[in-house]
Structure 1
């Protein structure tokens, strides 16, 4: 993959899943996230969470190196398989576009200390 050419893309996906299918959904989501992190250099972070006491409400925090990395992610076989496999499970999906202010993690701190 070419080096990032723009600013990072950060978005939050807000999903509501059919409660009868939540365990199947979580397994498919876990497989998709693992593949994305392992195979895609431009996928910097994917964090999936359930709203406390509402396990059918899933939030995914997504960080991509740039718009090109995000667009490439949407075309990968593992993402397309995830979308096809979960389409009947997802009751609603809302994508929240964000404007990053500060992006940091412990790994950034550890790299700076070396």
Structure 2
């Protein structure tokens, strides 16, 4: 990780009525972002066990500029527009990576 790397944790709660639709939109957005945006290094979404409506996303961007660019992409804007009314709570937390490692 460089000093420019931006790491965020998104804490999201979804109206359970829309959970399946939300998961489809999220999966599409993550796949496209990681595959086509050079500055999106990782997007990992999980749900809290026993609470599928409580989503957590670990986001890793190469830089603040890469993060800002991501927010303007057509696929991210589609996700944001498509999930209006599904998201009941959103908390974005800047985090400091202590140890992040994965296989290539």
Whether the TM-score (by the shorter chain) exceeds 0.5 is: yes
Greater share of residues in helix: 1
| Structure 1 segments of 4+ aligned residues over 4 angstroms from their partners | none
1:62 aligns with 2:59: yes
1:81 aligns with 2:82: no
Question: Residues 1-114 of structure 1 correspond to what in structure 2 (within 5 A)?
Answer: 7-107=4-104
Normalising by structure 1, we get a TM-score of 0.86
Over the aligned positions, Cα root-mean-square deviation in angstroms equals: 1.2
Instruction: Give the distance between the partners of 2:98 and 2:6, measured in 1 at CA.
Output: 12
Unaligned regions of 5+ residues in structure 1, if any?
Answer: 108-114
CA displacement, residues 31-83 of structure 1 (integer Å, 9 cap, x when unaligned): 00011011100000000101000000000010000101000000000000100
Instruction: Give the distance between the partners of 1:37 and 1:10, measured in 2 at CA.
Output: 15
Instruction: Figure out how many residues of one structure are paired with residues of the other and give that number.
Output: 103
Unaligned regions of 5+ residues in structure 2, if any?
Answer: none
